[in-house]
Chains A and B, each alone.
Chain A
Amino acid sequence: MNRFIGFVKKEFIHIFRDRRTLLILFGMPIAQILIFGYVITNEIKEAKIAVYDKSKDAVTREITDKLVSSGYFTLAKEIDHSGEIEEIFQKGEVREIVIFEQDFDKKLKEEGSASIQLLLDATDANMANLLQSYTSGIIQDYSQKITIEKSNAPVIKPKPRMLFNNELKGVYMFVPGTMAMILMLVSAMMTSISITREKETGTMEVLLVSPLKSFQVIIGKVTPYVLLAFINGIVIIALGYFVFEMPVKGSLVLLLSVTLLYIIMSLSLGILISTVSNSQEVAMFVSMFALMLPTLLLSNFIFPVENMPWPLQWLSTIIPAKYFVTLIKGIMIKGTGLAFVWKEIVILLLFTSIFITASIRKFKIRLE
């Protein structure tokens, strides 16, 4: 045991000596969470639209005002002839053009109906879809008002209630997502690099011939990183809570234990990566490539997994970050307890034990 403690001490000294890496290690998550919390948002806020009003009457003005005052859109341009449409799309100035037909008000009064045309720049299909549904929604709303004023037809009023996040804040998505991503990459990268580094520089041999058992060597290498990553996790949660007003509705103890579990899981993944790679370059490439994009895309971070084609949904079941994101959202935002989230915890435990078993196997082979 004494030997082991000595070894852990050596590792700590190693880490604390490299000031730059240490600075990056702690500075990075803070900077990232701050940047992402403010920047990354899918909310449609002041999206630029253009209006081509061929009629210019009271009703078309009112509808335009309705669109702008909704807060979703800003009127970037008014067009006077159809030749400009292609041009402003080409330059990427606006994403949507609203066209009112001629004699709009007159048609509405005399014929009972008038039409509005929406042109959308659909190069970004997701965005176009959002803009279209928001615009149509506002116009339909206005339309319904006219109907009700005129006749007394029966009306069903949907009363939506946005549960858990009634202001539809983007941070609720991004704080858990960023946390999953940073903890995963930092832990997996740090361990895999520090172990392969010993291999590359040849010092691993020294460690292996020492009286320390191989699992002691591994645990000794990982222990400091558990601590560092855990501090990172706490900092992120604190930032979410104090800066972005993320609630912590559930139990804080549960939240922290889940974070610790996730860190240990990521570290064991890092160990596994280090056992199969022979240089730092390979280890980093694997942790970066195999982990970054899949974690970003398949963990419910930005895109809901349930909309994806089934092979991807299937693939997402082996992305640990997905379960962590569910856990964090559940505990922090929904305030759910162990009764609701035990499944995810069991799965994370399972991942951890698989990674550890696999690395022990691989590690022994290298000793022979």
Chain B
Amino acid sequence: MKTILFILQKEFIQIFRNKTMLPMIFLMPILQLLILVNAATFEMKDIDMVVVDKDLSSASRQLTSKFEGSPFYNLNRQSFSVKEGKDKLLEDEADLVMVIPDHFEHDLRNENEADVQLLINAINGTAAGLINAYTSGVIADYNKNIISEWTKQPKMAETNPLEVIYSYWYNPEMNYKIYMVPGILVILVTIISLFLTALNIVREKEMGTIEQINVTPIRKYQFIVGKLVPFLIIALVELGIGLLIGKFLFDVPMIGSLPLLFGFAFVYLLVILGFGLFLSVISESQQQVMFVVFFFMLVFILMGGIFTPAESMPEWARYVNIINPIAYFMRVIRMIMLKGSGFIDILPEFIGLVIYAFISLSLAVWRYRKVA
């Protein structure tokens, strides 16, 4: 026990002495959390729109003014040629071109039917789907006005027999940040702990100082524990700071139990740290270990379902996610914080991670050789 304490002391002194790394370890993640949480939104607030009105009738103008009145659209250009509109799409200056054809009002009055063409920049398919839905909604709205105006039939029921009422549970204000804060927090805690541990032993190898430790009577497990605990503490502290920021700056609720969250985070960190140590033990240089870590990080993060829902992924990807620790933590931190899920709800994930932690730590201890 005493040996472990000494190793711990050495590690902590090393960390706190390094005046360039220390602020980075703490400030960078916090800064990123503060800034980047705001970025993750699909709300379409500024749809740049070009209207090509070939009809110039009162109906087409009314329709255009509907869009002018909407806060979602930036109607900055009117044009008379479809080509000009398409050029704007090519230049990335417009997301949507609405073409109102000749005889729009005429057709609408006489044939009861008229088309409006929507040209949407669909490179971002998700955004395009939303733009289409919003725009069709505005047009349908205008359509209702026309029906009640022209046919003198103000009964809403006639024009809209199916009424859709929706309510958003757990997050009635649709604050996307409360979903992103836990997600980004997971990434930051993971990067910090995985990087620092992975670099640690390789660094000692590269500098040659590992030899000095190897010739001491320190046991393997003591060494590993001594290397793990400091980063475990740092990561948990960062998680705590992140949660406070989430709570006070972004109004992220903490419905579930805080001890449960930290307990789960503890197990999760054991997995990550064990994994980091394992990589560190089998690598020869910092450069090598860095690229391996970078590879796994990127794959784990993006597959873990931070930005894109894990359900939309193909089946094999969901199987891969069984060995993706980030996917577990990502799901559970959101369940606990936002929905207040209890221990029973997260039990399968918990058991999974405990097994995982056991495996990754044993691998690290097993592969660590006291002979360089």
Contacts and interface: CB of A to CB of B under 8 A. Distances in A.
Interface string B268-298: 0000000000000001111110111011011
A94 B249 CA distance: 30
Contacts of A129: 42-43, 130, 174
Interface stretch (B221-229, B331-339, B356-364): B331-339
A239 interface: no
Contact of B116 (A113, A126, A157, A340): A157
A73 to B, nearest CB: 11
A150 B161 CA distance: 11
Interface stretch (A208-216, A230-238, A307-315, A358-366): A307-315
Contacts of B156: 113
B137 to A, nearest CB: 8
A172 B187 CA distance: 25
Interface stretch (B140-148, B211-219, B231-239): B140-148
B113 A90 contact: no
Nearest to B198: A284
Contact of B169 (A20, A122, A193, A329): A122
B40 interface: yes
B5 interface: no
Interface stretch (A2-10, A251-259, A260-268, A289-297): A289-297
A282 interface: yes
B313 A280 contact: no
B71 interface: no
Contacts of B136: 137, 140, 158, 160
A161 to B, nearest CB: 5
Interface stretch (A35-43, A50-58, A348-356): A35-43
Interface in B157-203: 157-172, 174-176, 178-179, 184, 187, 191, 195, 199, 203
B151 A40 contact: no
B280 to A, nearest CB: 12
- Helix, strand, loop or mixed for chain B's interface? helix
Interface string A185-201: 10001100110010011
Nearest to B147: A153
B133 interface: yes
A20 to B, nearest CB: 5
B90 interface: yes
B290 A173 contact: no
- B162, B187, B290 pick with most chain A CB within 10 angstroms: B162
A305 B175 CA distance: 18
Contact of A113 (B32, B162, B166, B288): B162
B126 A130 contact: yes
- Helix, strand, loop or mixed for chain A's interface? helix
Contacts, number: 387
B115 interface: yes
Interface string A108-126: 1001111111111111111
B113 A157 contact: yes
A151 interface: yes
B372 interface: no
A281 B286 contact: yes
Interface residues of A, number: 127
A307 B299 contact: no
A289 to B, nearest CB: 5
B166 A119 contact: yes
B116 A163 contact: no
B42 A130 contact: yes
A44 interface: yes
B76 interface: no
A43 B125 contact: yes
Contact of B108 (A124, A156, A277): A156
Contacts of A298: 36, 39
B40 A303 contact: yes
Contact of A130 (B123, B129, B161, B314): B129
A168 interface: yes
B46 A165 contact: no
A146 B162 CA distance: 9
A47 B312 contact: yes
Contact of B302 (A40, A121, A147): A40
Identify the 8 closest CB pairs spanning chains A and B, nearest first: A168-B125, A122-B168, A162-B122, A118-B166, A133-B133, A122-B171, A42-B126, A112-B157
17 contacts: A31-B299, A35-B317, A38-B317, A47-B312, A108-B162, A116-B165, A119-B169, A121-B170, A126-B42, A139-B162, A143-B161, A147-B160, A161-B117, A161-B119, A165-B122, A289-B32, A315-B35
